[in-house]
Amino acid sequence: MDDRLDYQSTTELVRALAARRISAVELLERAIARIEYYNPAINAVVVRDYVRARAAAIAADAALAKGERRPLLGIPMTVKESFNVAGLPITWGIPMFQYWRPNEDAVAVARLKAAGAIIIGKTNVPFALSDWQSYNDVYGTTNNPWDFGRSPGGSSGGSAASVAAGFVSLELGSDIAGSLRAPAHFCGIYTHKPSYGLVPLRGHSWPKSEALDAEGDGYLAVGGPLARTAADLALALDVLAGPDEEEAVAYGLTLPPARHDNLKSFRVLIIDTHPLLPTASTVWAALNRLSD
């Protein structure tokens, strides 16, 4: 299978869709074909929603043909299994929840759909989202797409593997203690752990519970994007960020301008030692090459 199109960035694919160099249906079918071919060995995409995705792709093509433009119009995506997607399973890797389906999307998922994204499935997690690997008794083990004998990390391990395998160019995950950052590192992709509260987490809550705002849970959980470029993270965050509807009366998202417009004007702190654990010589050397 020709990988070149499958590894383009979201930004590039948005341009290609708008210019009608590829249709949303064609892009979706490529993603589906790639998942069906490679996923059996990787096991990243554990819930599929191809029927609704195909209908959404047809609608996206009709909108694009009329000149409509939205930030993610026609872009196929997967999302972490722990986010509510109406009608799809959400288990958090816990077998007792495998037959329950939520009735509405999480706020972050709804924002992605409103921006034109096409949700084609959900990606694997560890049991209760509480490990730096991605195995559970419901869906089994997710393998690292670069080396099937290694882990993609966790808890957004299926998310990172889906992007790294070229299934999708953009993914929605979550993080408390490294659940975005560790998988991105293990799989060689980009991610961003946003400031606490920047991305609403209503609908990212314990299965069978009400769609509570998880920002009130005391765990400092955040939602955030995974992608193959930093520019794609910014594109996704523009869609995801901002107050939940219930908080919007008193809270607005306004960021100050950057202090500088070139990298050499910033000061950067490089931490190459840790007071509790020694740093591997290869890591220390790499950090010092970067700082130099």
Q: Which residues are catalytic?
A: 80, 155, 179
Residue 139 to residue 144: CA distance in whole angstroms: 15
Whether residue 174 contacts residue 201, with contact meaning beta carbons closer than 8 Å, is answered with yes
Q: Sign of the CA dihedral 30, 22, 71, 235? A: positive
Instruction: Measure the CA–CA gap between 78 and 219, rounded to whole angstroms.
Output: 24
* Positive or negative torsion for Cα 148, 129, 205, 227: negative
Taking the C-alpha atoms of residue 62 and residue 23, their distance in angstroms, rounded to an integer, is 10
Tokens (6 digits) for 104: 């509405």
The token duo for 74 is: 């026609």
